[in-house]
Structure 1
Amino acid sequence: MLAAARRLVRSLVVVVLVTAGTVTLLSLAPGSVASVILGENATPEAVARLNAQLGMDHPLWRQYLDWLGDAVTGDLGTSPLTNEPVMHAVLTRLPVTLELAAMALTISLVAAVLLAVVSAAREGTATDRATTAFSSVLLSVPAFIAGPLLIYLFSLRLGWFPVSGWARVSTDGLGANLRSALLPSVSIALTEVASFQRALRADLVTTLREDFIGAAHAKGLSRSYVMLRHALRPSSFSLITLAGINLGRLIGGTVVVETLFSLPGLGQLIVSSIISRDLISVQGIVVFVVVAYVLVNTLVDLSYGWLDPRVRKVGAA
């Protein structure tokens, strides 16, 4: 109970620090939301008047505390540019970002597990070295490079996927939706495959040297059964931890691909909000992402007991 309380306090501190840092950084940029609303030809008096109406003439710390008090109750504020509640804007665009992140995580995990199992089963061989080299190549291809390359090859040259835009399941069907999401998801997933594969391979190699693996082989069990049934699960701690941590990077990666592929997700929303100096929207999006990130990492911690029963025994003791 005490450990859970400490974790909750740490999570709240993280949320406050991240949102406060975001507000501070945005305050250093020139201009204001009032100047964006009124346009370039607005007089200083008109800008000052609108800032006062929006409450932007108060000190930064007071603006932040006023916003934080509302955010605690679930009210992330209303965008002064669009008059749309920030929570509504986030929830409207969240399915796009979640689908991209989930597809990218699934693709990267499946590819990483396959590559790691093949590599660890043939440690020190040419296959192992080739797999490691391939993961190194993937690690050097970030999303802003992979995206245009995939668009050129699979959209412009082969015509298999749309160049840009988003197809919704409700209106366009599941097939069209997956076609519009696949290339952006692969763009994000490529670099994650390399980090996942390396972590899992290292743990698998260590596990395969344990006595209980030797005992399983002595019983006449096949190598594939021992690998998948006895070695893979206890070797997945680092992989699951990385997946939880990298989920934040996957969501961050959607900022790039949503811009490249013109997708209506959180990434595109936060970019447009930053450009237009919409501080309220930026704060709301950041706190939403941070809370989701903290929850995912909590679930990752809880998953350790399922992966290895020894963790449950240690916790109970």
Structure 2
Amino acid sequence: MMLTVAARVGRSLLVVLLVSFAVVALMSLAPGSVAAVILGEDATPQAIAALNAQLGLDQPFWAQYLDWLGNAARGDLGTSPITNQPVTEAIAERLPVTLQLAVMALLIALVVAVLLAVASAVRPASPLDRSINVVSSLLLSVPAFIAGPVLIYLFALQLGWFPVIGWSDVGEGLGGNLRGALLPAISIALIEIAAFQRVLREDLIGTLREDFVGAARAKGMGPAYVMFRHALRPSSMSLITLAGINLGRLMGGTVIVESLFLLPGLGQLLTTSIVSRDLIMVQGVVVFIAVLYVLINTVVDLSYRLIDPRVRKAATA
């Protein structure tokens, strides 16, 4: 068991190191420099070179990376040369917005997908099942950057149910916060609904053919009880794996949605930092998202024993 955990931690650290190194390498290939952004268009080459030297940006990218890595190992992700704000402080300010969007989108997707998958699995190949499959196919073809403007036009501009752009903190009122977060969360959740529904539908159809489900039916248990008490839990392993992976991906995938709705989250912070060539901020945000992604996947792996009794039996055998 300890060897398995150690191997998993080692792989996770390797992923984080590769991600952070790739960010530095890619940013070093981009034209321009943060010194030119700070000094403005009228800056002389000598002034830009002097500021680059002061910031340590005149060193090779591998030297910059090793210096950053040593500080990051001590919990210091650096300070933005553009805003003079510590990276950890900027992440802490923006994280609640991105986290709320990702969690809301995931919950919406799970609830809707479970209901659709159960309706489909009860009678496979029925008209209802085929209709749901058509809807899921349509949702899979609509990315967030298309769904977002459509939802804004229909529900914000035409119906006026939600604000067009902007964000309201929870401290200013829960109702206003949810109104501002619901449309962005739905635009992210649409494609996840389709993916979750398809995965759970296939697993449910297979589980409903198992002997223990037949035995439950033979005992006179109702269809709803059999579905939600006996079939749904063991059919949820693939769904929970996918949901866990997608939660980590959603944390880093809200860039477009936050830009569309002008939301002050990690996605918008990452976008503005890339434009201004703020390498320290970009690297810190990307590494934070990578660490979060790895942690979520580890929790998902460990949750299998709680979800499916067959895994517990295999582990103790």
TM-score by length of 1: 0.99
Match of 2:279 in 1: 279
Match of 1:17 in 2: 18
What letter matches 1:207 in structure 2?
T
Match of 2:99 in 1: 98
> In the TM superposition, what is the alpha-carbon distance from 1:313 to its structure 2 partner?
2.3
CA distance in 2, matches of 1:229, 1:164: 42
1:77 partnered with 2:84: no
CA distance in 2, matches of 1:146, 1:201: 24
> In the TM superposition, what is the alpha-carbon distance from 1:81 to its structure 2 partner?
0.5
1:157 partnered with 2:152: no
CA distance in 1, matches of 2:295, 2:253: 19
> In the TM superposition, what is the alpha-carbon distance from 1:147 to its structure 2 partner?
0.4
> After the TM superposition, which of the residue ranges 134-143 and 96-105 deviates more from structure 2?
134-143
Residues 200 and 238 in structure 1, CA contact (< 8 A), matched pair in contact too:
yes
What letter matches 2:233 in structure 1?
R
Match of 1:312 in 2: 312
Residues 249 and 293 in structure 2, CA contact (< 8 A), matched pair in contact too:
no
> After the TM superposition, which of the residue ranges 246-255 and 228-237 deviates more from structure 2?
246-255
5 Å-filtered alignment, 1:196-275, equals 196-275=196-275
Aligned length: 316
Residues 143 and 253 in structure 1, CA contact (< 8 A), matched pair in contact too:
no
Q: State the secondary structure of the residue aligned to 2:254.
A: helix
Match of 1:130 in 2: 131
> In the TM superposition, what is the alpha-carbon distance from 1:122 to its structure 2 partner?
1.3
Match of 1:57 in 2: 58
1:167 partnered with 2:168: yes
Match of 2:301 in 1: 301
Match of 2:291 in 1: 291
CA distance in 1, matches of 2:156, 2:253: 20
CA distance in 2, matches of 1:309, 1:138: 33
What letter matches 2:265 in structure 1?
G
Identity %: 69
CA root-mean-square deviation? 0.7
CA distance in 2, matches of 1:312, 1:47: 61
CA displacement, residues 149-180 of structure 1 (integer Å, 9 cap, x when unaligned): 0000110001010000000011x200000000
CA distance in 2, matches of 1:279, 1:309: 47
> After the TM superposition, which of the residue ranges 108-117 and 303-312 deviates more from structure 2?
303-312
Match of 1:113 in 2: 114
> In the TM superposition, what is the alpha-carbon distance from 1:316 to its structure 2 partner?
2.7
> In the TM superposition, what is the alpha-carbon distance from 1:312 to its structure 2 partner?
1.8
> After the TM superposition, which of the residue ranges 147-156 and 239-248 deviates more from structure 2?
239-248
CA displacement, residues 44-81 of structure 1 (integer Å, 9 cap, x when unaligned): 11100000000101111010010011111111000000
What letter matches 2:92 in structure 1?
L
Match of 2:42 in 1: 41
CA distance in 1, matches of 2:267, 2:97: 10
CA distance in 2, matches of 1:213, 1:224: 12
What letter matches 2:59 in structure 1?
H
> In the TM superposition, what is the alpha-carbon distance from 1:270 to its structure 2 partner?
0.2
Runs of 4+ in 1 over 4 A off after TM superposition: none
Residues 147 and 187 in structure 1, CA contact (< 8 A), matched pair in contact too:
yes
In structure 1, list runs of 5 or more residues that go unmatched: none
CA distance in 1, matches of 2:139, 2:31: 38
